[in-house]
Amino acid sequence: MPVDNYEGAFAGMSYFLKEIKDIDNNLVVVSPDAGGMTRAKSFHSHFSKHGYDHVGLAMISKERKAANQVDNMILIGDVKGKDCIIVDDMIDTAGTLCGAGSLLKEQGANKVYAFATHGIFSGPAGDRIGKSAFEKVITTDSMQVSADFAAKAGDKHGQVSLDLLIAEVIRRTH
């Protein structure tokens, strides 16, 4: 059976186009790891389609001690004085994500945001995000957020709806 992969980036773009001021000279899209660079480049390209041709692109290289244990993070790119959006496919416990957000602030980033299609938010994710360096962590509504997570993350988490994307998929298939 043929299937299509629909990116949640469409839903996140509207939020960031409204939220971030001076996008063209002030924004860097950041991949949290080498494996996510294709996703970050795709998200980055959406800004060009909206007329913003000077948005930067950066990547974080992670050195691991063992599986699921990051020993060191290195930023590849310049974020000093810029607003940053870390783009990922999903957020689970938010440990690596919050570490990446802290690294960007340490490297001189102005405001740090994150966008992920799926917010799994297990274990300590709510506490980590609530205490993090992020202005806001945005996810789509592909997964329901627990009341416990929402209380712990507070106003640092927001959701955008996939309703228009899903409606368009249905329209095109019928």
Tallying the residues shown for the chain, one arrives at: 174
Which tokens belong to 63? 């050195």
CA separation for the pair 151, 166 (Å, rounded): 28
Read off the pLDDT of residues 37-52 as tens digits, 9 standing for 90 and up.
999 999 999 999 999 9
**Better-scored residue on pLDDT, 37 or 69:** 37
Q: pLDDT, tens digit, for every residue of 127-169?
A: 999 999 999 999 999 999 999 999 999 999 999 998 887 787 7
- Residue 62: pLDDT above 80? yes
Pick the catalytic residue from 62, 105, 136, 156: 62
Say what percent of the chain tops pLDDT 70.
95
| Separation CA 31–CA 37 (nearest Å) | 5
- Whether 62 sits among the annotated catalytic residues: the reply is yes
The DSSP-derived string for 113-143 is EEEEEEE---TTHHHHHHTSS-SEEEEETTS
Residue type, 107: Q
Per-residue pLDDT tens digits for 77-92: 999 999 999 999 999 9
Residue entry with tokens 């992920």: 116
